[in-house]
Structure 1
Amino acid sequence: MLPLRSALRGISGARSFSTSRVLQSELSYQVFGPENDEIKRNPIIFLHGLFGSKQNNRSISRALVRDLKCQIYNVDLRNHGHSFHSQEHNYNVMAEDVVEFIQQQKLDKCILIGHSMGAKTAMTVALRSPNTVSALIPVDNAPVNAPLKSDFSKYVRGMQHIESAKVTKQSDADAILKEYEKSLPIRQFLLTNLIRSEDDKTMKFRVPLSVLGRSLDNMADFPYSEPGTVKYQGPTLFVRGTKSRYVSDEFVPAIERFFPNYQLADVEAGHWLISENPEAFRQAVVKFLQDAS
């Protein structure tokens, strides 16, 4: 186990702390939260999307700590960030990882927030281990089998192209990736995974591209194929981007059968809505959790 790193940080006048821990063969995570005597509700576990990491949700976590007075655990899912790599990458094993993490941290009941891949992972956890989840917030994904946008396979090809080109500068990596993705914010997001190899000083990706590339079909699936065969009865908020097609109205019946105590919140944004419109996302989450408590 690597040593614990901690730092104090103030948020809008409220005392808070941030600790980060990297565990070998377990999930890497970072904790944000108020001092213990200020904690007012169950902890939140925040799960990122495909090609993301715990770094993505630091700013929104600090804002939610201020508003909700709770601990927030930002977690790197397997094959992402600083967590372990595995040849197996699907929602069942990722949900097992998260359940084990909850047990290891002795969190008892927690609130799950997940974006995209993290949303389906969070839904799977809630359906298989409902007693550990006090509230659920899936962000821009639905409990259905639905093809991923073709962009994700294109991203893998672009990232593999960067590695094969053995570039030594991030600007060169971005120039290659621009052939595959025109949006600068999306390229910047993908390039957060870029690190410098200690062996030959070339730029490589810390995520296992071959594993994630062949797991894209798994990311389109949902472990429970028949809506209603299992249910999570706790309060659930589906947050969806108005310019995204991942949670269309046709999926609402499936949502209702799996998660009967659900609400919908629309945020003016695309699929990356937490970074595109963080204030609207923050407001939706805070209102939902304050009403649910």
Structure 2
Amino acid sequence: MLLLRTSLRGLSTFRSFSTSRVLRSDLSYQVFGPEKEEPSRNPIVFLHGLFGSKQNNRSISKALARDSKRQVFILDLRNHGDSFHSDDHTYTAMAEDVAKFIHQQSLKECVLIGHSMGAKTAMTVALDSPSLVSALIPVDNAPVNAPLKSDFGKYVRGMQEIEAQGVSKQSDADKILKEYEESLPIRQFLLTNLVRGDNGSMKFRVPVSILGEALSAGEMANFPFSESDSVTYDGPALFVRGTRSRYVSEDTIPAIRKFFPKAQIADVEAGHWLISENPEAFRQKVVKFLHETP
């Protein structure tokens, strides 16, 4: 266990720890925040988006652990990071994984934060197992069936081309991917999944074909519940959306209110990748909400 000491405003020191391991459920995770022996509020479970991993949320999780004095668990969802691979890549399956993780860690009630794919997963957990969730923070996604507004299908084709060419350097992989995506930050994000295989060539640690099939089948655009369902999550919820993103438009607000009657809407000056684009504004919105939440 790695012990970290972090200064807190108004407090002399704050003991944190980080540990990475794979459970029998094969969900890889890390933890930041106060040790379990110390009194704390309900822990946070943080879920990344498509093609992401727990690595993407390390910095913001350390800040939230410091500011909220809570444990923060960052997970690798199935088919991502160091977690297991499965042909079944749906929100229902991912929500079951997260609920199992919460039970295995004896976390009881948690604050669930999720971005994009992780947001829909978090919403599904809250609607399926509301007793496990003390508060919900979906980031730039809504509980609706809607076409994806990013070029994820194009990214898959670029990633498949990289593997097909058997490149041995990340710079060569970036040259290929540039033909599919002009944005350097997005290419860098996708290439965080690139690792060196046993034969020396570069490959992706995510199962590109499985994720491509899930995208083609519309699984990532869908939501497991429809507005005709009577299920709701009646706990506190904060929907954080990017002002330059189209994922949480005004048209989605009725569905949000239907499933999550206590939902608040918070805007951050950013696009869809708002946690990395404007982390300070995101941190402030979340910390304010958490200070009002058990």
- TM-score between both structures, scaled by the size of structure 2: 0.95
- In angstroms, what is the RMSD of aligned CA positions? 1.2
Matched letter for residue 257 of structure 1: K
- The equivalent residue for 1:121 is 121
User: Shift of the alpha carbon at 1:150?
Assistant: 4.9
* Distance change in 2, residues 1:255/1:228 (3 Å): farther
- The equivalent residue for 2:104 is 104
- The equivalent residue for 1:251 is 252
- The equivalent residue for 2:281 is 280
Deviations 1:199-229 (A, max 9, x none): x100000000110001011000000012562
Matched letter for residue 204 of structure 2: F
Deviations 1:263-286 (A, max 9, x none): 010000000000000000000000
Q: Is the 8 A contact 1:27 1:101 kept in 2?
A: yes
User: Shift of the alpha carbon at 1:102?
Assistant: 0.6
1:291 and 2:292 matched: yes
CA distance in 2, matches of 1:189, 1:150: 14
- TM-score between both structures, scaled by the size of structure 1: 0.95
CA distance in 2, matches of 1:69, 1:14: 8
User: Shift of the alpha carbon at 1:140?
Assistant: 0.2
Q: Is the 8 A contact 2:227 2:258 kept in 1?
A: no
Aligned to 2:182, the other structure's residue is in SS state coil
CA distance in 2, matches of 1:237, 1:228: 21
CA distance in 2, matches of 1:101, 1:24: 10
Deviations 1:166-210 (A, max 9, x none): 000000001111111111111111000000001x10000000011
Matched letter for residue 128 of structure 2: R
1:206 and 2:205 matched: yes
- The equivalent residue for 1:161 is 161
Q: Is the 8 A contact 2:34 2:40 kept in 1?
A: no
Aligned to 2:261, the other structure's residue is in SS state coil
What is the identity percentage for the equivalent residue pairs of Structure 1 and Structure 2? 72
Deviations 1:16-74 (A, max 9, x none): 11111123552111111123454421010000000000100000000001100111110
- The equivalent residue for 1:21 is 21
Deviations 1:116-163 (A, max 9, x none): 000000000000100110000000000000001250000000000100
- The equivalent residue for 2:87 is 87
- The equivalent residue for 1:11 is 6
Q: Is the 8 A contact 1:46 1:112 kept in 2?
A: yes
Aligned to 1:218, the other structure's residue is in SS state coil
* Distance change in 2, residues 1:102/1:291 (3 Å): same
Unaligned runs of 5+ in 2: 8-12
Aligned to 2:141, the other structure's residue is in SS state coil
Give 4+ residue runs of structure 1 displaced > 4 Å after superposition.
none
Aligned to 1:65, the other structure's residue is in SS state helix
User: Shift of the alpha carbon at 1:292?
Assistant: 2.2
- The equivalent residue for 1:137 is 137
CA distance in 2, matches of 1:292, 1:15: 22
User: Shift of the alpha carbon at 1:291?
Assistant: 1.4
